[in-house]
């Protein structure tokens, strides 16, 4: 599933093409792509025709395209859940249907002219929806790519991500001290910290030398600070390398794959030598997924002696 770097690459690619563009036509060819939309395909098509986008925004793994506000109307946006295999692709106007195409928006941009924004999804777990924008709880901008202190209702429960200037390090470390669950579970909890999925959790924990099953409350202040720094470093490096692509399902808006998979130290490297100590990376079952870590570099802390 796309994580923060992959979604940010898509957002950054969409931003110059959609900002200021008028929606001249909408074709929802597969209603399964509108499962999170409150109306059907005909409503989605009619509600967007003639509207214009004012940008492209993201919080964690969640992407939305704010719409120009109608007179006396509340803010709205087209929110995109990419799911396991959703793709937002930019194509020339009139381009042939893409493989697994579900929704197409025809756009007229004042600078770039006519183009098409295509939502393609092989596994149909992703979706598009028109959603209301509501004020953020902390009064800060909703996420990357927007200066407005609003966020879609479907994203309001999602925590800020660690690359967001409004992310509060102190509050996050305080929350860790209260958590009795494994630190990897906390990293995957989008209500605690967003944008970090299985791949980047494994990579950050390896970099910080923290065992994924370590209880969050058992992390020292220094270790928690180091882990958060490594989470940011991993996300920023992945972002610089275009994200992680293991197959053709994750691509940017031009259909190109990311290459961070070549920089992985833990995830997917079962049996391969640790890049630090040489001991084989192990794989363990975790929350219906897998954890990858080095048993030498990432040791479980010893339990405190009972009195």
Is the pTM here over 0.85, yes or no?
A: yes
- Average pLDDT, whole number, for the chain? 90
pLDDT at 247 over 50: no
pLDDT at 176 over 80: yes
- Respond yes or no: is residue 295 known to be catalytic: no
Catalytic residue among 11, 58, 61, 269: 61
Annotated ligand binding at 179? The verdict is yes
**Mean pLDDT within 57-67:** 96
Total domain count for the chain?
2
Q: Both 134 and 186 in a single domain?
A: no
Q: Both 151 and 9 in a single domain?
A: yes
Q: Both 33 and 100 in a single domain?
A: yes
Q: Is residue 305 part of a domain?
A: no
Q: Which domain holds residue 147?
A: 4-155
What pLDDT, on a 0 to 100 scale, did the predictor assign at position 212?
Answer: 96
Q: Which of 61, 83, 54, 44 is nearest to 10 (CA)?
A: 61
**287 — pLDDT class (breaks 50, 70, 90):** confident
- Respond yes or no: is residue 184 known to be catalytic: no
Catalytic residue among 70, 279, 289, 299: 289
**Mean pLDDT within 217-233:** 96
Domain end residue (candidates: 120, 155, 190): 155
Q: Is residue 162 part of a domain?
A: no
Provide Rg for the chain, Cα atoms: 21
**246 — pLDDT class (breaks 50, 70, 90):** very low
What pLDDT, on a 0 to 100 scale, did the predictor assign at position 245?
Answer: 46
Give the list of residues 6+ apart from residue 118 with CB closer than 8 angstroms, or none.
87, 88, 89, 90, 91, 98, 101, 103, 104, 105
What pLDDT, on a 0 to 100 scale, did the predictor assign at position 190?
Answer: 93
CATH code, domain carrying 45: 3.20.190.10
């Amino acid at each position: 599933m796309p994580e923060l770097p992959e979604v940010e690459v898509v957002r950054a690619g969409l931003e110059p093409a959609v900002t200021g563009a008028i929606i001249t036509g909408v074709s929802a060819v597969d209603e399964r792509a509108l499962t999170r939309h409150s109306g059907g395909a005909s409503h989605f098509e009619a509600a967007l025709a003639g509207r214009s986008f004012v940008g492209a925004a993201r919080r964690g793994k969640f992407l939305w395209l704010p719409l120009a506000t109608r007179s006396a109307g509340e803010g709205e946006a087209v929110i995109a859940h990419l799911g396991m295999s959703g793709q937002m692709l930019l194509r020339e106007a009139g381009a042939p249907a893409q493989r697994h195409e579900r929704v197409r928006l025809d756009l007229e941009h004042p600078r770039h002219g006519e183009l098409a924004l295509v939502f393609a999804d092989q596994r149909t777990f992703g979706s598009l929806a028109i959603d209301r924008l509501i004020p953020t709880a902390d009064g800060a901008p909703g996420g990357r790519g927007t200066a407005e202190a609003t966020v879609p209702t479907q994203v309001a429960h999602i925590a800020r991500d660690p690359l967001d200037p409004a992310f509060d390090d102190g509050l996050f470390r305080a929350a860790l001290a209260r958590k009795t669950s494994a630190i990897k579970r906390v990293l995957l909890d989008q209500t605690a910290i967003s944008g970090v999925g299985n791949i980047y959790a494994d990579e950050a924990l390896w970099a910080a030398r923290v065992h994924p099953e370590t209880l969050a409350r058992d992390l020292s202040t220094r270790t928690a600070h180091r882990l958060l720094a490594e989470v940011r470093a991993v996300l920023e490096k992945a972002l610089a390398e275009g994200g992680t692509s293991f197959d053709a399902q994750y691509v940017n808006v031009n259909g190109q794959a990311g290459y961070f998979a070549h920089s992985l130290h833990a995830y997917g490297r079962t049996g391969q030598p640790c890049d630090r100590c040489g001991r084989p990376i192990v794989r363990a079952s975790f929350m219906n997924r897998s954890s990858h870590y080095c048993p030498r570099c990432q040791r479980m802390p010893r339990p405190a002696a009972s009195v």
